[in-house]
Structure 1
Amino acid sequence: MIHADLVQPINDQITSEAYASQLYLQMSMWAEDQGLPGASKFFRGHVAEEMDHRNRLVDYLVECDASVRLQAIPAPTAEFESLVSIINAAYAHEKMVTEQIDALASLALDRRDFNTFNMLQWFIAEQREELVLFRGIVDYMKLAGFTGGPGDALVNLDRFLLSQCHAQ
């Protein structure tokens, strides 16, 4: 049901999704430490989302009677300069994940594994949503003239991130 050439890359993506969950948890904890409850909640919501992505991939391999091989998850950085740096890092990470999903979909098509390609369509749509979300946040920061320091702009950005928790 799954082409053998796709099993390891999907296992690698499982690790990538688990790493993303850890990264967003670390970002959430940084925001919590900085007294930014909106940003903390926003990133905490992404923790569960990334674990859902991981579980979807695990379930797919199990359904295909393919081996799931969990790998070590690298520790994410815990040091961030500002909320701006976190948002930019999260946006860059989502761009990277999009490239990974696109590469998996391309490989599935190359191997004529249409079932796996079909499963990956959900991830392609999900990544589009993530890129739109983070690009919107980056645009909001630019529009507000927020550069990362304390003050009203930081409070407004934190509130904006809290509002995005309900939009997801």
Structure 2
Amino acid sequence: MISTRLQDAINEQINKEFFSAYLYLSMGQYFESKFLRGIAHWFYVQYKEELKHAEKFISFLNEKGGRVILNGIPAPKVEWNGALDAFNEAYNHEKFITSSIEDIMKIAVEENDFSTQNLLNWFLDEQVEEEAQTLEIVKKLELVGEHGQALYMLDRELAQRQG
């Protein structure tokens, strides 16, 4: 069995993962409307990844004998001031998610819940990758800008992302 404290923290994280998916879907739709389908594709892949993360937490909580409680998901933002603005927001959001998972890890360590720590280690490793990928795009946009050929080339590059 999992403690009520950890169950509650994981339920909150499930909600954050669903919000993450919703946010990235919204970002994808924004870039669809700008005819930047490669950038949109990158966000769609991210959207699907966040859904998988939520499902992983749900499965774990069920396997540990916990109860999954789904809460409402707030509406995401729908407008950005271009690609750099959106990717900066995505990067900051990933840092927020990392911090949230670290907070759950602190509880798992306090409670000597080793199986939850193991799960959270997987997520923390995943977050290192997520932050690095997003930061790389931010840095590229800062370097080359987001107009003309530079944006066109980045859009083509991001279209290649595998899911």
CA contact (8 A) 1:101 1:123 kept: yes
Q: State the aligned residue count.
A: 163
Q: Structure 2 CA distance, aligned partners of 1:104 and 1:69?
A: 17
CA shift for structure 1 position 160: 2.5
Task: Tell me what 1:121 maps to.
Answer: 121
RMSD, matched Cα? 1.2
CA shift for structure 1 position 3: 2.3
Q: Structure 2 CA distance, aligned partners of 1:123 and 1:73?
A: 21
Structure 1 residue identity aligned to 2:65: D
- Report which stretch shifted further, 49-58 or 103-112: 103-112
CA shift for structure 1 position 60: 0.6
Q: Structure 2 CA distance, aligned partners of 1:68 and 1:129?
A: 27
Q: Structure 2 CA distance, aligned partners of 1:115 and 1:8?
A: 16
Task: Tell me what 2:93 maps to.
Answer: 93
Query: What per-residue deviation string (whole Å, max 9, x for no partner) do you get for residues 73-124 of structure 1?
Result: 0000111111111111101100100000111111100111111111111101
CA shift for structure 1 position 143: 2.6
> SS in structure 1 opposite 2:159?
helix
Task: Tell me what 2:153 maps to.
Answer: 156
CA contact (8 A) 1:2 1:115 kept: no
Task: Tell me what 2:102 maps to.
Answer: 102
Structure 1 vs Structure 2: percent identity of aligned residues?
36
Query: What per-residue deviation string (whole Å, max 9, x for no partner) do you get for residues 45-86 of structure 1?
Result: 011100000000000110011110000000001111111111
Q: TM-score normalised to the size of structure 1?
A: 0.93
Structure 1 runs (4+) deviating above 6 angstroms are none
Task: Tell me what 1:35 maps to.
Answer: 35
> SS in structure 2 opposite 1:22?
helix
- Report which stretch shifted further, 70-79 or 2-11: 2-11
Query: What per-residue deviation string (whole Å, max 9, x for no partner) do you get for residues 1-22 of structure 1?
Result: 3222100010000000000000
CA contact (8 A) 2:11 2:69 kept: yes
Q: Structure 1 CA distance, aligned partners of 2:134 and 2:81?
A: 18
Which consecutive unaligned segments of at least 5 residues does structure 2 have?
Answer: none
Is the counterpart of residue 55 in structure 1 residue 55 in structure 2? Answer: yes
Which consecutive unaligned segments of at least 5 residues does structure 1 have?
Answer: none
Q: Structure 1 CA distance, aligned partners of 2:39 and 2:103?
A: 31
> SS in structure 2 opposite 1:71?
coil
